[in-house]
Amino acid sequence: MRKTLIVVLGPTGIGKSDLSIQIAQHFHTEIISADSRQIYKELEIGTAVPPTEDLAKVKHHLIHHRSIHDYYSAAVFEKEALQVIEDHFKAKDTLVMTGGSMMYIDALCNGIDDIPDADQKIRTQLFEEYKEKGLDHIRLQLKQLDPIYYDQVDLKNPKRILHALEICLTSGKTYSSMRTAKTIQRPFRIIKIGLNKDREELYERINLRVDKMLEMGLEAEARAVFDYHHLNSLNTVGYKELFAYFKGEITREQAIELIKRNSRRYAKKQLSWFRRDREINWFEPEQRNEIINLIEERLKQDEQQTT
């Protein structure tokens, strides 16, 4: 049988983890997490890491294997995930990958440009400049070093600007010259399952999920890492709003409302990104049988073609 990666994707709070476990159990396989925050071992509640009992049901990869102090990127994820896939496919024919991190999923499914890792000294220096002199300062540097990428990048996103500057200064080349956007053909078949719901219902699920996270201790978890709030790994929904509350910039009630609002906005952004991909088969989370049937049908077609 042809090796097959089953990708379960969709907006935050839609129920990807539960469905992925059901699919993995049905096909007697394992799961790769494609979540850019579940990798951090210091974070659990705010990143919606599956509970211990769910992790015990099916083996999960790339969860809690890094520290918030580590450098990590879509390119690093691609390398690590491909190694898991290569090792797994030596004995198994199917594997599940699930998550909502758009860049990570694209990196694994389509490949990512071969861009060198930035020098740690340069990265630290640029971040210190950004903290001291502000966004306009690093924007101007990028405009001087790589005017082409400057015209393309979101100029309100310091993470993207800093990353491009790091690469320019490390390599001596423009970041834009390294971005080829070529799609890589993987040596395995990919079946993409997208989950979605009516927008109002999705937003209600997201609001309730935030309430549940707070009940589970999200505020205490955020306080435990507050000393490192400047790290990029913590510049994420659920933590940055609470950090603003801890610094006295907003009230607790405002922080909670912002977490809900920003989570809804992120879900909208995820859906806009995923809808460009015509290979995604869309379902509602409750359509478990229909999803299993579609996967089995695709696998059966493959068997027929090889006999």
Of 48, 49, 52, 112, which is closest to residue 80 (Cα–Cα)? 112
Secondary-structure class of domain 4-113+182-306 per CATH: alpha beta
User: Cα separation of 257 and 263, whole Å?
Assistant: 10
Q: Which CATH number is associated with domain 120-178?
A: 1.10.20.140
Section 155-182 average pLDDT: 85
CB atoms within 10 A of CB 223: 13
Taking the domains of the chain in order of start, what are their residue ranges? 4-113+182-306, 120-178
The pTM (predicted TM-score) of the whole model is 0.83
Spatial contact of 32 and 198, defined as CB atoms under 8 Å apart: no
**Residue pLDDT, tens place only, 213-241:** 999 999 999 999 999 998 989 999 999 99
**Residue pLDDT, tens place only, 118-149:** 788 898 899 899 989 999 999 999 999 999 98
For the record, the structure tokens of 291 come out as 């999803």
